[in-house]
């Protein structure tokens, strides 16, 4: 059987690494897509490169996009990343680390890439449980984008449909980690922190670090990532 | 009354110039958005800059995006632009000048820009009559993207809706030109050609030139654009 190509959005974090592993386990030839988007943690991209190789991606494209032209988010502008927030604080409202229209832009590029590769499948590692504050991580967003994908492209006109897979959508962080471990993901290669040190050590205190550490804690496993000394 | 901001996608061509004029006439403060996307006719951007000033845009952002990373289209790769095709040839299939997922990518950026500016209105100059070969110029595509916009953003979560305006959607080329002239658009500033000379003179022979010249002809008006000698 000829390999079936898929496009997989890969950030270098824990979720997208697990997503890539899920796509590989599903038998897809995975074309990974990462973005250099003016984020101050370009270290993330080094993780993405390592993860793509580790999980046997068929190709890995890194696309330059300039979200900084918009401003408006701690991940692209020079606002402080919030630290040591408790669950209650995280549960309220949209985090300032939200990047305007980010997943819409990433999926739009993935769609262009899928069209050129002749891929009918796109994988994205969003999950609605831990990140309910992000509007573009909700199931209805993914479904709406799939509808756009099925109208926007040459494939759509020619009657071939596109599926947006979001296999982690209903999973909590512990469940995602468990699934990744089951599939052989080396989470030591992944970087989730919003504010890592220059050497790539995670801060252990931002929302992403808290969620990740709590996930490993629930599983009774040690997080193999490097953290800055407390 | 405070000015109401809108984001207007502006290519430098005839359609988007008319769209900007329509948005201005509707009382919007127009923030124009153009893209440098590896297209070989960067001359288009010079037209966009001139048009933005001419039609009194409140701001004009030019965003670098690298569609060349995908290949697959005459407008970004090194394939020849088809010349001297008749209506029948143009009516069949998707033109090779189609860029994968282009309007999806452009609208995704517009959405990010609208979110940061607090704009609830996005204008795009697609029309389904002359360009029925482009899947992402159809009314159902615009409607589907509007649904994504109304799920993807902070505004959506907070109950503010976003409208994607495509005022030219049902117009033919002559009608678009007539509307633009009525609104004072100087079409001499616009560039529609897929394959202009280095000095910006239009070829007069590609699909875009044919449609444009035919539009002016139907109105009994001269096209003020510069064309290469036959």
What's the complex ipTM?
A: 0.88
% residues pLDDT > 90 (chain B): 60
| B64 pLDDT tier (thresholds 50, 70, 90) | confident
pLDDT score for B139: 92
* Segments making up each domain of chain A, as ranges: 4-219
The number of angstroms, rounded, from the C-alpha of B181 to the middle of its chain's C-alpha atoms is 17
Question: Residue B194 and residue A141: Cα distance in Å, rounded?
Answer: 35
Kindly tell me the number of DSSP H helices and DSSP E strands found in chain B: 8, 5
**B87-104: b or e for each residue (b if 16 or more CB lie within 10 Å)?**
eeebeeeebebbbbbbbb
pLDDT score for A101: 87
pLDDT score for A137: 84
| B188 pLDDT tier (thresholds 50, 70, 90) | very high
pLDDT digits (tens, 9 = 90+) for B144-177: 999 999 998 878 778 889 999 999 999 999 999 9
Question: Residue B4 and residue B27: Cα distance in Å, rounded?
Answer: 7
Query: Other CB atoms closer than 10 Å to residue A154's CB: what's the count?
Result: 19
Q: Which range has the worst mean pLDDT, A177-186, B37-46, B85-94?
A: B85-94
Q: Could you identify the residue written with the tokens 């010079």?
A: B46
Q: Which residue of B has its CA nearest to A65?
A: B65
Give pTM, 2 decimals.
Answer: 0.90
Contact status, residue B8 vs residue B41, Cβ threshold 8 Å: no
Work out the minimum CA distance from B1 to partner chain A, whole angstroms: 25
Work out the minimum CA distance from A36 to partner chain B, whole angstroms: 11
User: Which residues of chain B have a CB within 8 Å of the CB of A66?
Assistant: 63-64
Highest mean pLDDT among B36-40, B43-47, B95-99, B215-219: B215-219
Q: What angle do CA A84, A88, A94 make, to 5 degrees?
A: 85
Phi, psi of B61 (to 5 degrees): -105, 140
Assigned token pair, B187: 């079409």
Fold of B4-219: Rossmann fold (3.40.50)
pLDDT score for B100: 80
Interface residues on B facing A, Cβ-Cβ cutoff 8 A: 61, 63-67, 69-72, 94, 98-105, 107-109, 111-113, 115-116, 135-136, 138, 140-141, 144-145, 147-149, 151-154, 156-157
pLDDT score for A80: 66
User: Which residues of chain B have a CB within 8 Å of the CB of A148?
Assistant: 104, 141, 144-145, 147-148
pLDDT score for A71: 62
Across the interface, whether the CB atoms of B66 and A64 are under 8 A apart is answered yes
Assigned token pair, A193: 């922190």
* Blockwise average pLDDT, block size 10, chain A, 230 residues: 90 96 97 83 88 96 79 59 69 64 93 92 88 79 96 83 96 96 97 88 91 96 92
pLDDT score for B153: 83
pLDDT score for A97: 63
Instruction: Give the CA distances from residue B151 to residues A142, A167, A198, in Å, rounded to whole numbers and listed in that order.
Output: 9, 19, 35
Question: Residue B86 and residue B205: Cα distance in Å, rounded?
Answer: 10
């Amino acid at each position: 059987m000829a390999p079936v190509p898929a496009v997989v959005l890969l950030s270098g974090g824990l979720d997208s690494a697990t997503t890539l592993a899920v796509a590989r386990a599903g038998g897809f030839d995975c074309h990974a897509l990462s973005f250099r988007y003016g984020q101050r943690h370009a270290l993330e991209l080094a993780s993405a490169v390592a993860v793509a190789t580790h999980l046997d991606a068929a190709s890995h494209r890194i696309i330059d996009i300039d979200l900084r032209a918009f401003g408006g988010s701690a991940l692209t502008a020079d606002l402080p990343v919030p630290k040591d927030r408790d669950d209650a604080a995280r549960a309220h409202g949209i985090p300032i680390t939200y990047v305007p229209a980010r997943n819409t832009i990433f999926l739009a590029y993935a769609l262009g890439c899928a069209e050129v590769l002749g891929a009918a499948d796109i994988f994205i590692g969003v999950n609605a449980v831990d990140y309910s504050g992000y509007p573009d991580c909700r199931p209805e967003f993914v479904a709406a984008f799939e509808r756009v994908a099925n109208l926007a492209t040459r494939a759509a006109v020619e009657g071939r449909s596109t599926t947006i897979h979001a296999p982690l959508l209903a999973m909590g962080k512990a469940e995602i980690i468990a699934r990744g471990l089951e599939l052989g993901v080396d989470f030591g290669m992944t970087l989730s922190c919003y504010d890592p040190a220059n050497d790539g050590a995670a801060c252990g205190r931002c929302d992403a670090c808290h969620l990740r550490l709590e996930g490993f804690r629930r599983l009774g496993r040690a997080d193999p990532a490097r953290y800055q000394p407390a």
